[in-house]
């Protein structure tokens, strides 16, 4: 059963593959910004797995951060909220993470339901070659992604209190 105040920020990606690990890099940047914000949990989802299902089931709100094709230039950021996120994750052009994320959300829907509020924040990668750091364009997008995450947290936290 979801906690009505629980917001899960799930960063996805393989941090060994440069821009693919941007979700994990965003989580690292958020740790100093959130300071144990009430009801917010940061989770390094890495390259996913069914072990994340209990975390998703317990969340009322889900912010998923991942590298993904946005149709723009390297470092472009797009948000897909609610049903737009669902369509994005089940569309034809999917990354390995999006396939796994779609499977996890489908599994959650069968048990306790998808998180009521959910958003995918996708960052256009420039490279997914071996490398521990994101490319300059993607690294430059991290502060913008953090701002977007914080905006969702503040809005959804205010909605929960209303």
The domains of the chain are located at 3-161
- What CATH number is given for 3-161 in this structure? 3.40.50.1450
Please check the confidence at residue 3 and state whether its pLDDT lies above 90: no
Residues 90 and 102: beta-carbon distance below 8 Å: yes
Q: Is residue 44 over pLDDT 80?
A: yes
Distances (CA, A) of 159 to 88, 95, 109, 117, 154: 25, 32, 23, 11, 9
The model's pTM: 0.90
Residue-wise pLDDT for 68-89, tens only, equals 989 999 999 999 999 999 888 8
Q: How much is the pLDDT for 93?
A: 52
pLDDT of amino acid 82: 95
Question: From the centroid of its chain, how far is CA 135?
Answer: 19
Number of H helices, E strands in the chain: 5, 5
């Amino acid at each position: 059963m979801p906690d009505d105040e629980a917001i899960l920020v799930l960063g996805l990606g393989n941090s060994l593959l440069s821009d693919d690990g941007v979700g994990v890099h965003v989580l690292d940047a958020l740790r100093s910004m959130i300071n144990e914000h009430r009801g917010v949990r940061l989770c390094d989802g890495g390259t996913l797995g069914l072990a994340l299902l209990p975390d998703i089931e317990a969340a009322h709100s889900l912010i998923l951060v991942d590298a993904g094709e946005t149709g723009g230039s390297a470092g472009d950021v797009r948000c897909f909220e609610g049903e737009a996120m669902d369509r994005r994750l089940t569309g034809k052009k999917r990354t390995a993470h999006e396939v796994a994320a779609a499977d996890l959300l489908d599994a959650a829907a069968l048990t306790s339901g998808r998180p009521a509020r959910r958003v995918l924040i996708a960052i256009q990668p420039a490279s997914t070659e071996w490398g521990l750091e994101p490319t300059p364009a993607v690294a430059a997008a991290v502060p913008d992604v953090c701002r977007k995450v914080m905006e969702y947290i503040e809005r959804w936290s205010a909605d929960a209190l209303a």
